[in-house]
C-alpha cells in the first residue's frame, strides 16, 4: 500500500474539476498517471492522457497497477468493481457517504480478487520524492519532504498537520498512509503499521488515531512486538461519550473506543502518546540535521 514511482495509476473521473486538478498535481509530483476513465469522453485525450469508457478497457490498452476514484457516492460501487475486475492491485477510494451495502459489495469483490482497498473516505497516499495518489498536498515541499518517518492517519487534515510539524522540525517522511474515515475501511491502522514495519526505508512511525472503534487497540497489540519506535496522537480527548465526533467511525459507547482506553493500550505496548500534535517531533527523539556551516554557504564541490 506504499506508493512507488514505478506503479502506474488510473484516475477514474479524471476529466472532472477535482479529478483534473489533482491529476495535474500528481503528474507534477512524479506520480505515473497513465490514463483516465469517463464513459462520456472515451476516446479523447485529457491532460495529454488517454480517456477510456471503463477501467477494463483501460487495462487492455494502457495497463495500470493502482486506481484512484474521483467518483460521486451513487456511482462509487460500479467504478470500484470495474477497477477491481480490471485487475487493479490497489484502489484508492476518496469518496465518502457511499451506501453501506455498496461498501460491503466493494470489500467482498476486493477480497475475492486480492485487491487492496484504501478507504473509503481517504485522502490518499504520499511517498515524498516519488509521488502521491489522492488529494493530499504531496506536491507541497513545505509539508512533505523525503525521510525515514512513516505517518498513518484516518484524517487527511490531521495527517497534513503532523507532516507539516515534522518537516518544520527537519524530519522527513518515508510515506503517508491515509487509511480513511469510513466505518468500513479496507486498510486498517494495523495493516498500515505492518506495512511500514516491513518497509526498509522507514525508521520510525507516527500513528494518528481518533476516538471510536478498536483500530488503535489492535495496532497497539502489533506495536508491542516491533523494534521500530512508534509515536501516537489520539484526537478526541475532550469528546463526550455517546456523541459522534468527526469521522463516521468516531463514536464512543461507554469505555469502548474511548480516548483513555486507546491511550492505555498504546502506552502499555511501549508507544509514546503525545498530548498535542506539536509534541510528536520531540517524542520521536531522532537526530536533527546539522545546521550548515555559514563559511561553506555558496561553495560548490570541486570538479
DSSP 8-state assignment for residue 295: G
Q: Are 130 and 176 in contact (CB under 8 A)?
A: no
Q: Are 177 and 151 in contact (CB under 8 A)?
A: yes
Confidence bin at 301 (pLDDT 50/70/90): very low
Q: Which domains does the chain show, CATH number per domain?
A: 8-118 (3.40.50.720), 140-284 (3.40.50.261)
Out of 6, 107, 247, 300, the active site residue is 247
Query: What's the rounded Cα separation, in Å, for the pair 143 and 21?
Result: 19
Whether 249 shows a pLDDT value over 90: the answer reads no
Query: What's the rounded Cα separation, in Å, for the pair 250 and 180?
Result: 12
Query: What's the rounded Cα separation, in Å, for the pair 202 and 138?
Result: 18
* Strand runs labelled E in the chain: 8-12, 32-37, 45-46, 49-52, 66-69, 90-93, 116-118, 124-127, 131-134, 146-153, 173-178, 204-210, 230-235, 272-274
- Could you report the per-residue pLDDT of 23-77, keeping only the tens digit for each? 999 999 999 999 999 999 999 999 999 999 999 999 999 999 999 999 999 999 9
Query: What's the rounded Cα separation, in Å, for the pair 176 and 156?
Result: 10
Query: What's the rounded Cα separation, in Å, for the pair 26 and 134?
Result: 8
Whether 297 shows a pLDDT value over 50: the answer reads no
Confidence bin at 296 (pLDDT 50/70/90): very low
Q: Are 251 and 236 in contact (CB under 8 A)?
A: no
Query: What's the rounded Cα separation, in Å, for the pair 303 and 300?
Result: 9
Q: pTM of the predicted model, to two decimals?
A: 0.91
For the chain, how big is the Rg over CA atoms in Å? 20
- Could you report the per-residue pLDDT of 213-242, keeping only the tens digit for each? 899 999 999 999 999 999 999 998 866 665
- Could you report the per-residue pLDDT of 126-144, keeping only the tens digit for each? 999 999 999 999 999 999 9
Q: Which cell is 183 given?
A: 466505518
Active site residue 46: no
Amino acid at each position: 500500500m506504499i506508493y512507488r514511482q514505478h506503479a502506474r495509476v488510473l484516475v477514474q473521473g479524471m476529466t472532472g474539476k477535482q479529478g483534473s486538478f489533482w491529476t495535474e498535481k500528481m503528474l507534477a509530483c512524479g506520480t505515473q498517471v497513465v490514463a483516465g476513465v469517463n464513459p462520456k469522453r472515451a476516446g479523447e485525450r485529457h491532460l495529454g492522457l488517454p480517456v477510456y469508457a471503463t477501467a477494463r478497457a483501460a487495462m487492455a490498452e494502457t495497463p495500470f497497477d493502482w486506481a484512484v476514484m474521483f467518483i460521486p457516492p451513487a456511482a462509487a460501487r460500479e467504478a470500484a468493481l470495474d477497477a477491481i475486475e480490471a485487475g487493479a492491485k490497489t484502489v484508492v477510494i476518496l469518496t465518502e457517504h457511499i451506501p453501506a451495502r455498496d461498501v460491503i459489495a466493494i470489500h467482498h469483490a476486493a477480497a475475492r480478487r486480492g485487491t487492496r482497498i484504501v478507504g473509503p473516505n481517504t485522502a490518499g497516499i504520499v511517498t515524498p520524492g516519488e509521488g502521491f495518489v489522492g488529494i493530499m498536498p504531496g506536491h507541497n515541499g513545505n509539508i512533505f519532504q523525503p525521510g525515514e518517518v512513516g505517518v498513518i492517519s484516518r484524517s487527511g487534515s490531521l495527517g497534513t498537520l503532523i507532516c507539516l510539524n515534522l518537516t518544520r522540525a527537519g524530519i522527513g517522511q518515508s510515506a503517508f498512509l491515509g487509511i480513511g474515515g469510513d466505518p468500513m475501511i479496507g486498510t486498517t491502522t494495523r495493516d498500515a503499521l505492518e506495512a511500514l514495519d516491513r518497509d526498509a526505508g522507514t525508521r520510525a512511525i507516527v500513528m494518528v488515531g481518533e476516538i471510536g472503534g478498536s483500530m488503535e487497540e489492535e495496532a497497539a497489540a502489533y506495536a508491542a512486538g516491533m523494534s521500530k519506535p512508534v509515536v501516537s496522537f489520539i484526537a478526541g480527548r475532550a469528546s463526550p461519550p455517546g456523541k459522534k465526533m468527526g469521522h463516521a467511525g468516531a463514536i464512543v459507547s461507554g469505555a469502548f473506543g474511548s480516548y483513555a482506553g486507546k491511550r492505555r493500550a498504546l502506552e502499555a505496548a511501549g508507544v509514546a502518546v503525545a498530548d498535542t500534535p506539536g509534541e510528536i517531533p520531540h517524542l520521536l527523539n531522532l537526530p536533527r540535521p546539522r545546521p550548515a556551516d555559514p563559511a561553506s554557504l555558496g561553495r560548490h564541490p570541486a570538479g
